[in-house]
Homo-oligomer: A and B are copies of this chain.
Amino acid sequence: MAATSVPEPTLRRLPKYYHYLRRVQGTGQEIISATQMAEDLGIHHTQVRKDLAATGSQGKPKVGHRVEDLLVSIEAFLNWNNFSEAFLVGAGNLGSALLGYTDFEKAGIRIVAAFDSNPLKVGGRVHGVEVFPMAQFEHRALERHIAIGIITVPADRAQQIAETMVRGGLQAIWNFAPITLDLPEEIIVENVELYASLAIFSRKLEERRKAKAAGPQF
């Protein structure tokens, strides 16, 4: 069962390479070296080589990698040729924004329905996606064999929604609520922690202010 052998940081970097390579492709360039990629992306070149090797793509010594080959390898490795269907819960500001991201489809996920507990939203459509009452989530998810759930509700409702998702047979949850979900171990959970960025901002800006106040030391 060595399939888990690819480190998660590598997995996280692959989309970065992918988007970069798409831009390179857009300029008409057909060959690229790991060295060049590393420089442009601010990543160590050995790192880039290892990451690309993980996708099974091979380059030619002295030449480099074919941009097209790399794109195909990454797509295949991430299974981005197929997509899984997703249900989104919470058609508020953030939820609506995600419903508008048609590009997710190129990245393995298609949001096929939204759910909300607000009767004013139910029955309508957001970016073309129908909004159903939360009460219908479980049976619709089971019926359609949905794999992925997206949580864009306030923190105090997230745990409960997540549990409904598990009952609906979902296998992966993309959680935008700032709360740690307590779920069976086999459920894949990805938390988008917006506040983590803010913590880094506050701290680093403050450090800089202090450094400035202390004056240049040399």
Contacts and interface: CB of A to CB of B under 8 A. Distances in A.
Best-surrounded residue of A193, A202, A207 (most CB of chain B within 10 A): A202
B16 A202 contact: no
Contacts of A203: 6, 11, 77-79
A208 to B, nearest CB: 7
A122 interface: no
B108 A201 contact: yes
A192 B194 contact: yes
A197 B182 CA distance: 19
Nearest to A180: B41
A196 B109 CA distance: 13
A125 B77 CA distance: 43
Given A1-B211, A8-B200, A203-B78, A93 B97 contact: yes
B205 A171 contact: yes
Q: Name the prevailing secondary structure of the A interface residues.
A: helix
Contact of A201 (B84, B196, B208): B84
Interface string A1-23: 10110101001111110111001
A94 interface: yes
A193 B11 CA distance: 12
Contact of A188 (B41, B92, B108, B204): B204
A119 interface: no
Contact of A11 (B23, B100, B199): B199
Q: 9 closest A-B pairs (Cβ-Cβ)?
A: A15-B195, A93-B97, A12-B196, A108-B202, A93-B100, A97-B97, A190-B197, A107-B198, A79-B202
Interface of A: 1, 3-4, 6, 8, 11-16, 18-20, 23, 40-42, 77-80, 84, 92-94, 96-97, 100-101, 104, 107-109, 127, 147-148, 155-156, 171-172, 174, 178-180, 182, 188, 190, 192-208, 210-211, 217
